[in-house]
Chains A and B, each alone.
Chain A
């Protein structure tokens, strides 16, 4: 629900406090043929293949979002410093309130975590983008690396205003009747319930080592999932698969459930319990 202005507006009406666009690249990409998404018992497996209409066409969607009441974060992907800064600049011109660098898509050759698994490259990308735009820059990180902390430190070193952890986890499902991978692209990214402990672990490790804000992502569908991420040190959370599990009302429900949990535990503000589990 992050592709068109209309869909994004519906998400905002459903109670999201900020929205992240689909990852946008320089040229239009159709992505992979279907099946691109399947549900598994404990999560959702997808290989969309970074479909997007290209940054020039995306202005049409962005200009319809200039008057919304919540921050719009433009997500971009590229394979180089120059490419990232070009796209980030476009997003800034289009009115984005912040930009998220997709350094973590697990299933698009030459992009995503293939770029985001090299600390030097991550640092240079973030640095180049920071020199190009005035809006905050977030780096979305992958768990498919030996040390996410090393990548997080590189992003911080490059001047990132925050990191997002995590993107979907590289995974494969083989259908036993067809005797072949179920997704057209074979390899996909696993998200939803099953990856929450991985996401929480990554946020926890990052929070111990870096001082910039962390946005938690991966398996948030209930208020207590968000609370877990915040206890691990996150300042905010992103929701994707939760839209499937609980419908578009997931945003309002999660907010309400966080408030209820806070009441039960005697907290008045998120900052009061942020990172408490790290102590």
Chain B
């Protein structure tokens, strides 16, 4: 039922100065790329992709950016939150060789997909982008699992100096992939999808929109001709996104007004 399950946080891990992971007991199956509506009592209920998929527990990894995430950032083991989900479709992992492209906190939703691909013995290349070395996370986690990890930073403090979408261009020039999976800022994903459609590569991107009901009724999160991010997404394929006039262009605020993406 679409009602928040109240759970006790059992572990909190600091990933960077502004990024934390909270783990909570949840023993049901969740697919990489699916999300929960996370209730932070008295503040808000916000969508968060799963970043850890363990048998007995699941995790969310998030950056403090607003009221809800700031409040969640203060939570400790033993504190209560509500989780409603898993929601949405998740990534459809297929093919022999997969390229994952993540920017900023997008790696949180991509990481479990990388782990799933590795566990199915698929060849897995990951490109991670961040502003600088300090804001990168999950690099060691993914390397240890056996992924080939490339890093790009805006300031060049580590790895490729520049945008992860440019790093991705180099990677697809020199190699062939059966699937590209991406999550991160929408302008970055837009570039990734454009590159993929030019090269005829299969691509899936995970979109973020303001979500209210999370059950496909209110219409707040609609994109691309009435597709609901909460139930038809959040993962859409390149074919759908290429025809989508709002992808990379605008989102809608809580009132339903268009807000253009810069």
- A residues near B (Cβ < 8 Å) are 1-4, 6-11, 22, 28-31, 33-41, 44, 46, 48, 51-54, 57, 60, 175, 177-178, 180, 182, 184, 240-241, 243-244, 247-248
Contacts and interface: CB of A to CB of B under 8 A. Distances in A.
Contact of A38 (B2, B43, B225): B2
Contacts, number: 125
Contact of A51 (B214, B227, B254): B254
Contact of A37 (B1, B46, B218): B218
A175 B217 CA distance: 22
A57 B255 CA distance: 10
Contacts of B214: 37
Contacts of A241: 217
Given A36-B45, A38-B3, 7 more contacts: A3-B218, A3-B256, A6-B222, A22-B219, A53-B255, A53-B256, A177-B6
A3 B43 CA distance: 24
A52 B256 CA distance: 6
B262 interface: no
Given A31-B254, A31-B255, A40 B222 contact: no
B26 to A, nearest CB: 15
Interface centre among B37, B225, B256 (most CB of A within 10 A): B256
Shortest Cβ-Cβ A-B pairs, 10 listed: A10-B226, A34-B45, A30-B254, A39-B2, A177-B6, A37-B213, A53-B257, A1-B219, A7-B219, A28-B255
Contacts of A48: 212, 218
Q: Is chain A's binding surface mostly helix, strand, loop or mixed?
A: loop
B212 A10 contact: no
Contacts of A6: 222, 224-226
10 contacts: A1-B216, A1-B218, A7-B222, A30-B253, A30-B254, A35-B45, A44-B217, A53-B256, A244-B216, A244-B217
Contact of B219 (A3, A29, A53, A60): A3
Interface of B: 1-4, 6, 37, 39, 41-46, 80, 82, 84, 212-220, 222, 224-228, 252-258
A36 B80 CA distance: 19
B230 to A, nearest CB: 11
A53 B226 CA distance: 17
Nearest to B253: A30
A7 B3 CA distance: 24
Contacts of A2: 219
A8 B80 CA distance: 38
Contacts of A4: 219, 222, 226, 252, 256
Contact of B225 (A9, A22, A53): A9
Contacts of A38: 2-4, 84
Contact of A33 (B4, B43, B216, B256): B43
Given A31-B255, A44-B217, A37 B212 contact: yes
A177 B219 contact: no
Interface centre among A22, A30, A36, A184 (most CB of B within 10 A): A36
B212 A34 contact: yes
A180 B2 contact: no
B58 to A, nearest CB: 18
A1 B258 CA distance: 16
A127 B258 CA distance: 34
A34 B213 CA distance: 8
A177 B80 contact: yes
Nearest to A192: B217
A22 B256 contact: yes
A52 B218 CA distance: 12
Interface centre among B215, B224, B228 (most CB of A within 10 A): B215
A210 B220 CA distance: 36
A51 B6 contact: no
Contact of B41 (A22, A31, A39, A178): A178
Contacts of B4: 35, 38, 175, 182
A127 to B, nearest CB: 30
B255 A54 contact: yes
Contacts of A240: 217
B143 to A, nearest CB: 37
B226 A243 contact: no
A48 B252 CA distance: 16
